[in-house]
Amino acid sequence: MISDLNFLLVGNSRHHWAKYSQNQSKFFHTKKEQGVPENIDLDRLIWASVGKLPNFFLKEENEIKTKDIKLSNLPDYFGVDRALACLAALNIIANPFKKDLLIADFGTILSITKVKSNGSIIGGQLIPGFLTQLKSMEQNTKNLTVPNKYDIPTKDFLFKTEEAILKGVINSITGVINGSFDPQKDILITCGGDSQFLLKCLKKQKINTINAPNLVMEGMIIHHLSLKKLL
């Protein structure tokens, strides 16, 4: 019997945690500056990283790297989070018609990754995420500031600067999804910290999606349990 397990994905803006016990998974997230949550044994913590490593100790032998994940046509330099999301999607998403899986991870970066139903990576796209785009406009211009509220306007053309910023950023994100997703050939799966919020915008455009916000963490669990079965 597999004992309780803890997992950590070191992200660019947050830490993502999972607890696995008795075939049940619980997920939660902490800010980068926060310490280790209670009841986490760092010696046994399974982890992966796409961001700057935290100031607490992580055992090197417990790290999941891209090269450890068994997917076809997967380069070692591919982001481990993207590889784990593909692994999870292949294992948990019903795909009776053997469509390609298009995974949109709405985080600091919006990563779009396409994988065949047989587990072969096709490739993907990377663009700045929702908050990254907003902050970039504030940092690189004189008169634009990040809106305090994210109430997305329904109109396409706005006078108020904050509304125009929000509509432009949302259109850039939904536009790249629209341009990449073919519902006849693909299943669209959304995940990541901003997926719940951005899912509303996709639904307004009648884009059918499967939302699995903790897909990457589920991939970590699936990967680790598969290794345990081989031992």
Q: What is the DSSP string of 67-104?
A: GGS--BT--TTS-HHHHHHHHHHHHHS--TT-PEEEEE
Question: In the structure, what pLDDT confidence band is assigned to residue 1 with cuts at 50, 70 and 90?
Answer: very low
Domain assignment present for 229: no
Residues 115 and 34 in one domain: no
CA 117 to chain centre: 19
- Whether residues 127 and 195 fall in one domain: yes
Residue 195: the pLDDT is: 92
Q: Is the same domain home to 38 and 116?
A: no
Domain limit, last residue, from 17, 45, 65: 65
Q: Is residue 59 part of a domain?
A: yes
Quick one: 193 and 107 in the same domain?
yes
pLDDT (0 to 100) of residue 63: 98
Region 152-159: what's the mean pLDDT? 94
Q: How many domains does the chain have?
A: 2
Query: Each residue of 76-118: pLDDT tens digit?
Result: 999 999 999 999 999 999 999 999 999 999 999 999 999 999 9
Residue 2: per-residue pLDDT: 52
pLDDT band at 200 (very low <50, low <70, confident <90, very high): confident
Give the model's confidence band at 196: pLDDT under 50 very low, under 70 low, under 90 confident, else very high: confident
Let me know whether 53 and 108 are in one domain.
no
Q: Report pTM.
A: 0.94
Positive or negative CA dihedral for 196, 199, 201, 204? negative
How far is the C-alpha of 13 from the C-alpha of 35, rounded, in Å?
Answer: 14
Range of the domain at 15: 5-65
Same domain, 125 and 196: yes
Instruction: Tell me: pLDDT of 197 over 90.
Output: no
pLDDT score for 230:
60
Same domain, 102 and 206: yes
Instruction: Kindly report the average pLDDT of the chain as a whole number.
Output: 94
Query: Average pLDDT of 180-200?
Result: 94
Q: Is the dihedral of CA 158, 161, 166, 170 positive or negative?
A: positive
